[in-house]
Amino acid sequence: MASTVAVMGATGHVGGAIARGLREAGVAVRAIGRSRDRLQPLAQAGAEIAEGSVDDAAFLTHAFDGAAAAFLMVPPNLQASDARGHQRRVAEAAAAAITKTGLSHAVMLSSVGADKATGTGPIEGLHEMEMRLDAIAALHVVHLRPAYFMENHMMSIGLIKSAGINGTPLRPDLSMPTIATKDIAAVAADLLARRSFTGHATKELQGPRDYTPQEATAILGMAIGRPDLPYAQFPYEDALKAMTAAGLSPSVAADFVELYRGLNEGRVTALEPRSGANTTPTTLEEFAATVFAPAFGAS
C-alpha cells in the first residue's frame, strides 16, 4: 500500500496517461474519478478505483489514505456557475485530505502563467491552489507548469467542418509554446514513481518549440488534406457567445475569454528560457497526424 500513487482526474488526458504509464511501470495506482464506467479500463489494467467527487474532502481523504504520493489537478467543470469557486473547493478539499492523511509527495498540474494572481482566467485558480499546497510545510510538491495544450486544437474540429476555417480569439502571429498532454503525463509519472523531489518547486514544460495560431492551422490543415485552411481571429465577444451557445456556463466562458486576453497581452507566458530541461518531444506535426487527423475523420 505504501507505494500506491493516487491519481486525480484519472479518466482525463493527463491523469489517464499518468495512471496507464505508472501501471505499465508496475506501480500500484489508485485511480480517482467521478464515473465508475470510465474508470473500468484502468481497473482492468490493475488499478484500484476510487469513485467520487474531488471537491469532497472526506472522499479525497479516503482516496489519499495510505498513498505514497498523489497527482493533483482541478478537473474541468464546464457548467460550473462559479468557475473560481469550483477550483477553490477542489483545492481546499485536496489540501484538507493531504493534511489529514499526512501525504508526503504530490505533483500538481498547474500552468504557465500561474506565477500571477490575476488576469489569467482559469489559471488564477491554479495560482491559488499552488499557494494553498505550499502552505503545507510537510508536503513535498512539484507544480508542473505546462504550456498551451495541443489538445485544445481538438475544439476546432466542428468549426473547420462547418465553416471551413479555424479560429480563436488568439492573435494569428502570437508565438507561444505548445505541448502534447502525453508529454506532461510522462514527466509527472516519472516524478511520482521516483519520489526523489523535496520541498516546494515549480517545473515549466514548454513543448518542442513555439507555434503561432496561423502556423498551427497550416499544420493541422495539412494533416487533414486542407493545406489552405485559413485562420481567423475572433472578437472576444463573439467567442463568449459561441462558448455559451455550446453549453459552457457564463462564468466558465468568461474565464476562458480572460485567458485568451491574457495570452494575447503577454500575461500568460513562460518565465524560463527554453532549455533541454523544459522542452518535450512531441511536435505539433506528429500530434496533427496521429491524434487530430484521426479524430477529424471520425467526427
In whole angstroms, what is the distance from residue 149 CA to residue 245 CA? 23
Inter-residue contact 185 to 21 (CB < 8 Å) = yes
In whole angstroms, what is the distance from residue 268 CA to residue 120 CA? 6
Architecture of domain 5-151+179-205: 3-Layer(aba) Sandwich (3.40)
Rounded to an integer, the average pLDDT of 73-102 is 97
DSSP code of 225?
T
Name the residue with cell 489529514: 100
> What is the share, in percent, of the chain residues with pLDDT greater than 70?
99
Place 2 in a pLDDT band, splitting at 50, 70 and 90: low
Task: Cell numbers for 141, please give them.
Answer: 510538491
Q: What is the dihedral of CA 150, 151, 152, 157, to 10 degrees?
A: 110
> Has residue 1 got a pLDDT over 60?
no
Specify which residues 168 forms β-bridges with.
Answer: 233
CB atoms within 10 A of CB 290: 12
Rounded to an integer, the average pLDDT of 190-204 is 98
The residue type of 26 is G
The kind and range of the H/E element at 161 are: helix 157-163
Ordered alpha helix ranges (H), the chain: 13-24, 36-44, 57-64, 83-101, 123-134, 157-163, 181-194, 213-223, 236-245, 250-264, 284-287, 293-298
Query: Which tens digits make up the pLDDT trace of 224-268?
Result: 999 999 999 999 999 999 999 999 999 999 999 999 999 999 999
> Has residue 32 got a pLDDT over 50?
yes
In whole angstroms, what is the distance from residue 156 CA to residue 116 CA? 28
pTM here? 0.96
Nearest to 70 by CA among 23, 134, 140, 7: 7
At a CB cut-off of 8 Å and minimum separation 6, what does 177 contact?
112, 147, 148, 206, 207, 209, 210, 270, 274
CB atoms within 10 A of CB 110: 26
Nearest to 50 by CA among 69, 70, 71, 64: 64
Average model confidence (pLDDT) across the chain: 97
Task: Cell numbers for 62, please give them.
Answer: 479516503
Reduce the DSSP state of residue 211 to 3 states and report it: strand
β-pair type (231-233, 166-168): parallel
- Domain boundaries along the sequence of the chain: 5-151+179-205
The CA-atom distances, in angstroms, between 104 and each of 3, 88, 89, 200 are: 12, 22, 21, 12
Place 299 in a pLDDT band, splitting at 50, 70 and 90: confident
The residue type of 27 is V
At a CB cut-off of 8 Å and minimum separation 6, what does 233 contact?
167, 168, 169, 170, 171, 172, 213
In whole angstroms, what is the distance from residue 226 CA to residue 108 CA? 38
